Structure 1
Amino acid sequence: MRADARRNRDRIVEVARDLIRAKGYDAVSMDEVARTAGIGAGTLYRHFPTKDALHDAVIEAWADKVNEAVDQAMELDVPARDRLLQWLKDYTAMLTTHQGAAARITASLGVAGSPYEAKCQTYLQANQRVIDALGGQLRPDVQAMQMCRLVGGVAAVADNSELPPEAVSAMLEVLTDGFLAPKAA
Structure 2
Amino acid sequence: MPPNVSGPQSACATPPAELLELRATPPRERADAARNRVAVLEAAAVLFRERGVDGVSMDAVAAAAGVGKGTLFRRFGDRAGLATALLDEQERGLQEAILFGPAPLGPGAAGQSPPAGDRLRAFLDAYLDYLLAHLDLVRVSETATSGARYRIGAYRFWHRHVSLLLAGRPDPAAAAHTLLAALGAEHVTAVRAEIGAERLRTATRQLADALLP
TM-score, normalised relative to structure 1: 0.71
What is the alpha-carbon distance in structure 2 between the residues aligned to residue 117 and residue 67 of structure 1?
17
Q: Who is 1:140 aligned against?
A: 170
What is the alpha-carbon distance in structure 2 between the residues aligned to residue 36 and residue 162 of structure 1?
36
What is the alpha-carbon distance in structure 1 between the residues aligned to residue 179 and residue 142 of structure 2?
11
| Alpha carbons of structure 1 residues 11 and 177: separation in structure 2 relative to 1, 3 Å | same
- Give the residue type in structure 2 aligned to 1:86: A
What is the alpha-carbon distance in structure 1 between the residues aligned to residue 86 and residue 69 of structure 2?
18
Post-superposition offset of 1:66: 3.7
Contact 2:182 2:204 in 1 (8 A): no
**1:127 correspondence with 2:163:** no
Q: Who is 1:156 aligned against?
A: 189
Higher relative contact order (CA 8 A, sep 6+): 2
Contact 2:39 2:65 in 1 (8 A): yes
What is the alpha-carbon distance in structure 1 between the residues aligned to residue 32 and residue 78 of structure 2?
21
Post-superposition offset of 1:20: 2.5
Contact 1:12 1:37 in 2 (8 A): yes
After TM superposition, list the pairs within 5 Å mapping 1:32-181 onto structure 2.
32-71=60-99, 72=101, 73-75=105-107, 79-107=115-143, 111=147, 114=148, 119=152, 121-136=153-168, 139-142=169-172, 143=174, 144-152=176-184, 155-157=188-190, 161=193, 164-181=196-213
What is the alpha-carbon distance in structure 1 between the residues aligned to residue 66 and residue 118 of structure 2?
47
| Alpha carbons of structure 1 residues 89 and 109: separation in structure 2 relative to 1, 3 Å | farther
What is the alpha-carbon distance in structure 2 between the residues aligned to residue 22 and residue 131 of structure 1?
38
Q: Who is 1:27 aligned against?
A: 55
Q: Secondary structure in 2 aligned to 1:96?
A: helix
Post-superposition offset of 1:86: 1.1
The percentage of counterpart residues that share the same residue type is 31
Bigger helix share: 1
Contact 2:131 2:138 in 1 (8 A): yes
Q: Who is 1:8 aligned against?
A: 36
Q: Deviations over 1:39-63 (max 9, x none)?
A: 3434433433322222222222244
Q: Secondary structure in 2 aligned to 1:70?
A: helix
What is the alpha-carbon distance in structure 2 between the residues aligned to residue 5 and residue 74 of structure 1?
34
Post-superposition offset of 1:87: 0.4
What is the alpha-carbon distance in structure 2 between the residues aligned to residue 156 and residue 141 of structure 1?
29
- Give the residue type in structure 2 aligned to 1:131: S
Q: Deviations over 1:56-96 (max 9, x none)?
A: 22222244234224334152665543321110111222233
Contact 1:70 1:130 in 2 (8 A): no
Contact 1:16 1:33 in 2 (8 A): yes
Post-superposition offset of 1:179: 1.6
TM-score, normalised relative to structure 2: 0.63
Q: Deviations over 1:132-179 (max 9, x none)?
A: 24532xx43442322321222663346x63865422321222222222
